[in-house]
């Protein structure tokens, strides 16, 4: 089977240093974590930005520093978040797309997010999709719930999203689709022809659903954004530790991790000039 594309979601917007002391916050720490993850088998880094005090920001100036810190250390495919943090406005969330990243996330609908709402109005999704395409980036369609998959299929059929699409099934957010094998199988059954997909299981399901994706021919996202533990009661020591484990599972299943160069070819991204 084809190589395994591992995405490292290094920091996210919700977890704090108090919960996970190894969480990278500064641009330099995010750059170092990215390089460690690539050495461990990751091809893509999913980036969020933080202020020095750890609070989330979508400030393009901070993202610029992060991207420079990543690119100075490794060849990872740079994927910026347009999700940001719950409560941020659309214009604020879109800011890092202006930096011409290789990929950007695109959430395909609204979902309850714990006690809050992760709001994604159709007009905003459409504007994000246009901006991502205009900047020459590939969208990763974030699917938190079954209705978002239906929306993605409809929009792809209408040509409002570029094909072939790349999906990320984000399962186990309280308010979204549960992180069960059945939920994953349903979403996989709905994939349009030619699409690629990855799965981001929350908490302990990062490992179980990731292992399923290895068997099913999908790809896997791991990292502190979605899970801070290595096993029950034991915090992971780094993002790279989580990457190393899923890379090994991939190797054992004859799906060695894709390098960034191989992953670019698989996802139809232009190769970067050295
Ligand atoms: N922080 C979440 C509310 C994304 O990166 O595109 C949204 C999120 C999705 O993390
Ligand atoms: Zn994210």
Contact of 213 with 5, CB cutoff 8 Å = no
* pLDDT band, very low/low/confident/very high, at 273 (cuts 50, 70, 90): confident
247 lines ligand 1 (CB under 6 A): no
* Atom from ligand 1 closest to the CA of residue 81: 5
Question: For the segment 206-230, what is each residue's pLDDT rounded down to a tens digit?
Answer: 999 999 999 999 999 999 999 999 9
Q: What is the pTM of this model?
A: 0.98
How much of the chain, in percent, has pLDDT values that exceed 90? 99
Contact of 205 with 220, CB cutoff 8 Å = no
Residue 42: pLDDT over 80: yes
Question: For the segment 66-125, what is each residue's pLDDT rounded down to a tens digit?
Answer: 999 999 999 999 999 999 999 999 999 999 999 999 999 999 999 999 999 999 999 999
Query: 162 Cβ partners below 8 Å, 6+ apart?
Result: 133, 138, 139
Residue 134: pLDDT over 90: yes
Residue 81 Cα to ligand 1 middle (Å): 6
Residue 21: pLDDT over 80: yes
CA distances from 8 to 46, 186, 247 (A): 6, 24, 11
Residue 222 Cα to ligand 2 middle (Å): 11
CA distances from 196 to 35, 110, 246, 268 (A): 24, 22, 18, 11
How much of the chain, in percent, has pLDDT values that exceed 70? 100
**pLDDT on residue 97:** 98
128 lines ligand 1 (CB under 6 A): no
11 lines ligand 1 (CB under 6 A): no
85 lines ligand 1 (CB under 6 A): yes
Question: For the segment 154-165, what is each residue's pLDDT rounded down to a tens digit?
Answer: 999 999 999 999
CA distances from 193 to 46, 158, 199, 216 (A): 25, 15, 18, 15
**pLDDT on residue 149:** 98
Ligand nearest to the CA of 106: 1
Contact of 107 with 81, CB cutoff 8 Å = no
Beta-strand runs (E) in the chain:
6-9, 44-47, 49-50, 56-57, 77-80, 103-107, 111-113, 116-118, 138-143, 166-171, 196-201, 219-222, 229-231, 234-235
- Average pLDDT score, the chain: 98
* Atom from ligand 1 closest to the CA of residue 105: 6
* Atom from ligand 1 closest to the CA of residue 140: 6
């Amino acid at each position: 089977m084809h190589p395994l594309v591992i995405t490292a979601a290094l920091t996210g917007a919700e977890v704090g240093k108090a919960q996970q002391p190894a969480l990278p916050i500064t641009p330099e720490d995010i750059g170092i974590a990215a390089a460690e993850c690539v050495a461990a088998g990751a091809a893509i880094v999913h980036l969020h930005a933080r202020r020095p005090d750890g609070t989330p920001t979508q400030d393009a100036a901070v993202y610029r520093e992060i991207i420079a810190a990543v690119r100075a250390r490794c060849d990872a495919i740079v994927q910026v978040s347009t999700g940001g943090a719950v409560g941020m406005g659309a214009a604020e969330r879109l800011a890092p797309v202006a930096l011409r990243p290789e990929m950007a996330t695109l959430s395909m609908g609204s979902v309850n997010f714990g006690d809050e709402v992760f709001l994604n109005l159709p007009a905003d999704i459409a504007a994000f999709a246009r901006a991502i395409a205009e900047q020459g980036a590939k969208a990763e369609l974030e699917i938190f719930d079954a209705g978002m998959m239906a929306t993605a299929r409809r929009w792809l059929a209408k040509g409002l999203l570029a094909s072939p699409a790349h999906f990320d099934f984000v399962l186990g957010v309280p308010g979204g689709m549960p992180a069960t094998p059945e939920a994953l199988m349903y979403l996989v059954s709905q994939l349009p022809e030619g699409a690629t997909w990855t799965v981001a299981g929350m908490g302990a399901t990062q490992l179980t659903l990731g292992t399923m994706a290895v068997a099913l021919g999908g790809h896997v996202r791991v990292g502190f954004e979605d899970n801070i533990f290595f096993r029950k009661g034991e915090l992971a020591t780094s993002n790279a530790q989580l990457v190393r484990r899923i890379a090994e599972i991939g190797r054992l299943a004859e799906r060695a991790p894709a390098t960034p160069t191989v992953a670019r070819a698989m996802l139809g991204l232009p190769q970067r000039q050295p």
